[in-house]
């Protein structure tokens, strides 16, 4: 088979085999059995980043005195009032049903001795409502969903296909061009509707919990196709990553009673309006405060010289020793395993060095509450989408259920659209041919001696950390934006040393680099436009939240000349008017 052929036509094509993509596929298979559904993924679905989620998934049901309103309020205030409250209300109402449904599909939720679902505390949540499967929650959730997709013969899979372009004609998305990695062939798959479920973009930064595959491909594809991205300035640091590898030590470690201590062995969070130390965890206090506040506190400790130098930067320590071996082995076995394997530290007896690490993108492809991305036939769900329930700061354990709730919603909406969408237009073939020419030219371009994909990516990552880290300023982001422009020129000219076709990882890395550059630019431009501090976007030149001017989302889209444009979109407020974010009390 030659390059440029349209190899199949489906009703709905999911890009992404993580939680959001698989949930969307199952939603369609269950409700519209006559539709032809496909899932395309650049890795085998079980290798999607969802598999590495540890801590748990929030759903207000298990604790007797919990309510949907309290989950909604915690999410609204956690978002620093930037989350859309209609989406949040739908989310909290549907999350428990989704989690129960997942159990029926085989997810082994941890249980209390009396058989009821066990829940744990999580940062920024007033009640214990985080369901978990020990500390391998994502693995079990994804596995249950993956097995469920296998029941449905109408779900076609394209494993290890890398999407490079959305096909858009007649004002609607009609499919994709992708590289079948095993052969290297460049092919097209058309579809009446496409759901982007491509996950996050942590790799824009140097130090991240995210997998190497999290390069924001879906966001870049949508942007180039003409769909806007939303709230890209809000990038979450998780307060506890292992130095060097960036491997996550789950918030569950603090939920089970772990303490964060500085170089003096002092629980420093008491100095940052996060409550006073208590021997047992107190909800929304101290170590169970929200992630943005905890990461910011780390920076202040470092400035005061109260952190510890390590070969991989300054660290504080997570102390689990007082929890005891029995609890650690039953509730946090993976934490112990990770520490032993990657740091040669046993948390039963030793302190774990940790530092803030890029973890999650609150922004993403702008969608409505049913995943529609503002371009006919295009939907998005999961971390690549911005509905938005997370606003300026996501609460831990809200993302996994978000993938389920909005994965299912977008699947259903895409199915409905596909049911009455017109057939593919002939003009898309010209776009396929155009993409084949572009990719072949990239493969044929001679590689220079000094500039390679890896070097440019490293420079991009360090530029982003300096320009838009935990604290940013106008000048830091302007300087970063200029540097990203220069890096874009180098990335556009980069040559590929490996000219073979099967599994050409260098080619894939070059395409991912182009995506990272686009995402980096959007983060910086959205950040520059937001002259206030809110949630994870902290500007030392504009330290206060400014609801008068910035209680609004930022949309960034490409103008006809290719340059990015920013506009504002009002936040939907239903029942909770903007207020102060108070923790520790
Ligand atoms: C270490 C870690 C721990 C976490 N723990 C928790 C937790 O305890 N609780 C919680 O709520 N959240 C947690 N999160 C966040 C949460 O896991 C993610 O936000 C969520 O799983 C994302 O799921 P997704 O389906 O959107 O994307 P992913 O699971 O990342 O899947 C993306 C899919 O898109 C495919 N793809 C991407 N680009 C392309 C392309 N160009 N062509 C074809 N396919 C493509 C990939 O192959 C993959 O299948 C954690 C995140 C990390 C990194």
| Residue 284 · residue 583 · CB < 8 Å | yes
User: Which amino acid residue places its CA nearest to atom 51 of ligand 1?
Assistant: 53
The sheet with strand 364-366 has its strands ordered as 385-386, 364-366, 229-230, 552-558, 564-570
- CA-closest residue to ligand 1 atom 6: 53
Nearest-5° Cα angle at 56, 299 to 290: 30
Domain-embedded: residue 66: no
Any long-range contacts for 33-36 (C-beta under 8 Å, 24+ apart)?
A: 33/154, 35/11, 35/154, 35/415, 35/418, 35/419, 36/10, 36/11, 36/12, 36/154, 36/156
Residues 297-343 have pLDDT tens digits of: 999 999 999 999 999 999 999 999 999 999 999 989 999 999 999 99
CA atoms within 13 A on the CB side of 423: 2
Q: Do 353 and 438 share a domain, yes or no?
A: no
Task: State the Cα torsion 258-259-265-267 to the nearest 10°.
Answer: -170
Q: How far apart are the first and last CA of the chain?
A: 65
Strand bridging mode 364-366 / 229-230: antiparallel
* CATH number, position 246: 3.90.700.10
- Would residue 260 count as lying in a domain? yes
28-37, 55-64, 247-256, 511-520, range with the lowest pLDDT = 55-64
Pick the atom of ligand 1 nearest to 400's CA: 11
pLDDT at 1 (0 to 100): 59
Three-state secondary structure string covering 101-123: HHHHCCCCCCECCCCCECEECCC
- More confident: 560 or 397: 397
**pLDDT (0 to 100) of residue 86:** 98
Looking from the CA of residue 199, the nearest atom of ligand 1 is 27
All residues at 6 or more sequence positions from 370 whose CB lies less than 8 Å from its CB, including other chains: 379, 409, 410, 412, 413
Is position 425 within any domain?
Answer: no
Determine the atom of ligand 1 nearest the C-alpha atom of 202: 53
Closest by alpha carbon to 179, among 505, 431, 564, 545?
A: 505
CA angle 257/299/334 to nearest 5° reads 35
| Mean pLDDT calculated for residue range 364-389 | 98
Boundary-marking domain end, from 357, 384, 417: 357
Residue 8 lies in a domain: no
- Rounded Cα–Cα distance for residues 132 and 111 (Å): 9
Residue in 49, 129, 254, 558 annotated catalytic: 254
Residues 552, 461 share a domain: yes
Question: Catalytic one among 238, 293, 530, 545?
Answer: 238
Q: Is residue 418 predicted with pLDDT exceeding 80?
A: yes
Residue 531 within a domain: yes
Ligand 1 binding residues, C-beta < 6 A: 15-21, 40-43, 45, 48-50, 52-57, 137-138, 161-163, 197-200, 209-210, 213-214, 217-218, 248, 360, 382-384, 396-400, 403
pLDDT at 46: 98
Look at residue 201 and tell me if it is in a domain: no
Question: Which candidate, 95, 83, 91, 104, places its Cα nearest to that of 131?
Answer: 95
Question: Is-catalytic flag, 238?
Answer: yes
Q: Assess whether 452 and 563 both reside in one domain.
A: yes
d(CA 221, ligand 1 centre) in Å: 17
Ligand 1 centroid vs 165 CA: distance in angstroms? Answer: 20
Q: What is the pLDDT of residue 64?
A: 76
- E-strand ranges in 452-540 read 471-472, 538-539
- Calpha distance 280→242 (Å, rounded): 24
pLDDT digits (tens, 9 = 90+) for 481-507: 999 999 999 999 999 999 899 999 999
Check pLDDT > 90 for residue 455.
yes
Q: Residue 448 pLDDT > 90, yes or no?
A: no
Q: Do both 330 and 248 map to the same domain?
A: yes
Task: For residues 451 and 561, state if they share a domain.
Answer: yes
Domain residue limits at 244: 240-357
Among protein residues, the one whose CA lies closest to atom 50 of ligand 1: 53
379 confidence band (pLDDT: 50, 70, 90):
very high
Q: Is 435 in the same domain as 529?
A: yes
Number of structural domains (the chain) is 2
Whether 64 is in a domain gets the answer no
Percent of the chain with pLDDT over 90: 92
Q: Which atom of ligand 1 is nearest to the CA of 17?
A: 49
- Please report the beta strands in 42-118, taking only residues with DSSP state E, as ranges in sequence order: 57-58
Beta-carbon contacts of residue 563 (< 8 Å; ≥ 6 apart)? none
Contact call for residues 191 and 8 (beta carbons, < 8 A): no
One domain, residues 463 and 560: yes
Are 438 and 562 members of one domain? yes
Q: H-type helices in 364-473, by residue range?
A: 399-420, 428-444, 453-468
Q: Is 104 considered catalytic here?
A: no
Q: How many other CB atoms sit within 10 Å of the CB of residue 137?
A: 27
- How far apart (Å, rounded) are the C-alpha atoms in residues 389 and 375? 21
Q: Which of 40, 399, 515 is the best mutation target for the ligand 1 pocket, counting ligand atoms within 8 Å of the beta carbon and taking the most?
A: 399
pLDDT of residue 447: 81
Last residue of a domain, one of 301, 328, 357: 357
Could you tell me if residue 368 is inside a domain?
no
- Model pTM? 0.97
Residue (of 89, 358, 350) closest to 234 by Cα position = 358
| 513: CATH | 1.20.58.100
Given 357, 376, 405, which residue is the final one in a domain? 357
In 3D space, the residue among 12, 49, 42, 43 whose CA is nearest the CA of residue 27 turns out to be 12
Q: Check pLDDT > 90 for residue 244.
A: no
On the 0-12 / 13-18 / 19+ scale of CB atoms within 10 A, 2 is exposed
Compute the distance from residue 137 Cα to the ligand 1 centre, in Å. 13
pLDDT of residue 19: 98
**CA–CA dist 199, 219 (Å, integer):** 9
* 120 or 189, greater pLDDT: 189
Mean pLDDT of 48-66: 90
Give me the chain's average pLDDT, please: 95
The verdict on 455 and 561 lying in the same domain is yes
The verdict on 435 and 566 lying in the same domain is yes
pLDDT band at 251 (very low <50, low <70, confident <90, very high): very high
Q: In this structure, which residue's CA is closest to atom 5 in ligand 1?
A: 53
CA dist 56 and 121 (Å) reads 10
Q: Are 476 and 350 members of one domain?
A: no
């Amino acid at each position: 088979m030659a390059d440029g052929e349209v190899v199949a036509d489906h009703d709905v094509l999911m890009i992404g085999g993580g939680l959001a993509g698989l949930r969307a596929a199952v939603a369609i298979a269950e409700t519209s059995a006559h539709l032809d559904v496909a899932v395309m993924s650049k890795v085998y679905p079980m290798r999607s980043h969802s598999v590495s989620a540890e801590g748990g998934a929030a759903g207000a049901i298990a604790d007797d005195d919990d309510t949907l309103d309290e989950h909604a309020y915690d999410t609204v205030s956690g978002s620093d009032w930037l989350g859309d409250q209609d989406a949040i209300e739908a989310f909290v109402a549907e999350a428990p049903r989704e989690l129960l449904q997942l159990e029926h599909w085989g997810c082994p939720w941890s249980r209390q001795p009396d058989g009821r679902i066990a829940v744990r505390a999580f940062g920024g949540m007033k009640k214990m409502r985080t369901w978990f499967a020990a500390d391998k929650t994502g693995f079990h959730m994804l596995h249950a969903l993956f097995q469920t997709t296998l029941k449905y013969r109408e779900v076609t899979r394209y494993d290890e296909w890398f999407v490079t372009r959305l096909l858009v004609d007649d004002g609607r998305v009609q499919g994709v061009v992708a590289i079948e990695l095993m052969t290297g062939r460049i092919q097209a798959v058309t579809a009446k509707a496409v759901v982007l479920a491509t996950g996050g973009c942590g790799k824009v930064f140097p130090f991240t919990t995210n997998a190497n595959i999290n390069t924001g491909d879906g966001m870049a594809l949508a942007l180039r196709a003409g769909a806007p991205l939303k709230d890209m300035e809000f990038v979450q640091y998780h307060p506890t990553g292992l130095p060097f590898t960036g491997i996550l030590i789950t918030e569950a470690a603090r939920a089970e009673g772990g303490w964060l201590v500085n170089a003096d062995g002092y629980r420093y969070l008491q100095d940052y309006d996060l409550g006073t130390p208590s021997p047992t965890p107190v909800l929304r206090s101290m170590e169970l405060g929200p992630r943005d506040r905890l990461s910011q506190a780390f920076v202040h400790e470092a400035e005061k010289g109260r952190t510890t130098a390590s070969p991989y930067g300054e660290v504080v320590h997570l102390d689990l020793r007082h929890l005891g071996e029995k609890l650690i082995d039953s509730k946090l076995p993976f934490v112990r395993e990770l520490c032993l394997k990657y740091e040669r530290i046993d948390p039963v007896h030793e302190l774990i060095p940790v530092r803030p690490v890029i973890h999650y993108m609150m922004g993403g492809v702008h969608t409505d509450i049913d995943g529609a991305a503002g371009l006919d036939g295009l939907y998005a769900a999961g971390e690549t989408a911005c509905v938005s329930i997370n606003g300026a700061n996501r609460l831990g354990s809200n993302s996994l259920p978000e993938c389920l709730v909005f994965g299912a919603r977008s699947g259903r909406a895409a199915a409905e659209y596909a049911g009455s969408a017109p057939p593919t237009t002939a003009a898309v073939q010209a776009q396929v041919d155009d993409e084949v020419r572009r990719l072949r030219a990239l493969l044929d371009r001679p590689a220079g001696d000094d500039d390679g994909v890896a070097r440019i990516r490293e420079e991009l990552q360090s530029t982003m950390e300096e320009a838009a880290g935990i604290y940013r300023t106008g000048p830091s982001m302007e300087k970063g934006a200029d540097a990203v422009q220069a890096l874009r020129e180098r990335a556009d000219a980069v040559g590929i040393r490996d000219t073979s076709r099967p599994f050409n990882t260098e080619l894939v890395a070059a395409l991912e680099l182009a995506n990272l550059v686009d995402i980096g630019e959007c983060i910086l431009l959205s950040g520059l436009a937001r002259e206030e501090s809110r949630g994870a976007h902290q500007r030392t030149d504009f330290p206060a939240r400014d609801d008068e001017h910035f209680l609004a989302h930022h949309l960034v889209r490409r103008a006809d000349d290719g340059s990015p444009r920013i506009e504002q979109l009002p936040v939907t407020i239903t029942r909770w008017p903007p207020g102060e974010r108070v923790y520790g009390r």
